[in-house]
Amino acid sequence: MTDPELTADQDHGTGVWPLIRAERAALAADLADLSDERWTTPSLCSGLSVREVLAHLTASASLNAVRWMAGVIRCRFDFDKQVAMRLAEQLGITPGETLERFRRIIPSTTKPPLPAIAMLGETIVHAEDIRRPLGIRHDYPIEAVTRVAEYYRGSDLVVLAKGRIDGLRLVADDGPFTTGTGPLVSGPTLALIMATTGRAPYCDDLEGDGVELLQGRCQAA
């Protein structure tokens, strides 16, 4: 039986890689004219600036399974330490260099041992970790955010997501995504994704009896 995720990885024409490349390119364009001072803006990732989050995205797209495992062993299975080490490798000397390194990985299909859909999720979530603090708005294709929402509803692989929405009913008001049973949380698919992955500010974009519970779970993360 064919693994559907492997098929998506191999078929770049109909899989998720075109969506990943498009979102990387859009983020690079949004950051092209950012002043040096704004690159130090705190992101939605605790303790990281928007520049550091971009370097993390570059690092993720530069690590194949072998290099990822080598880093894990080098860091003695301290995954946070590996993330910090790889981020530092891609940061560069100046914000301009950070952005240029990110531009180079736009077409990359290199990835750690994760499904390609997880890479799309990381691209979208971290792009919003950067954009929201900078006040940059971006319209994501509903296909892309729906596929990511469908992935996170059943996975805690990269980030706690499935567990965070347990006992809640999520309903998108701009697309077909819906999942779960319990108190209602409704709103844009993007806001549902971001809240599912622990970004409390996006709860302000949601409605329903379950929002307060979800927000509390985000803040406890």
Q: Which pLDDT value is given to residue 124?
A: 98
Q: What secondary structure letter does DSSP report for 179?
A: E
Q: Which domains does the chain have, with CATH numbers?
A: 4-134 (1.20.120), 142-219 (3.30.1050)
Mean pLDDT of 90-117: 93
pLDDT tens by residue, 155-213: 988 788 999 999 999 999 999 999 999 999 999 999 999 999 999 999 999 999 999 99
Q: Please list the residues that pair with 178 across neighbouring strands.
A: 171
Q: Which pLDDT value is given to residue 79?
A: 56
Q: Which pLDDT value is given to residue 4?
A: 37
Q: Which pLDDT value is given to residue 2?
A: 33
Q: Which pLDDT value is given to residue 151?
A: 96
Query: What does residue 169 show for φ and ψ, rounded to 5 degrees?
Result: -110, 115
**Residue pair 185/208 in contact by the 8 Å Cβ criterion:** yes
Q: Which pLDDT value is given to residue 69?
A: 54
The residue with greater pLDDT, 6 or 139, is 139
- Two tokens at 11? 């078929």
Q: Would you tell me how many other CB atoms lie within 10 Å of the CB of residue 67?
A: 13
User: Full-prediction pTM beyond 0.95?
Assistant: no
Least trusted range by pLDDT, from 28-37, 67-76, 147-156, 183-192: 67-76
Sequence-distant (6+) residues with CB within 8 A of 117 are 5, 8, 16, 147, 148, 151
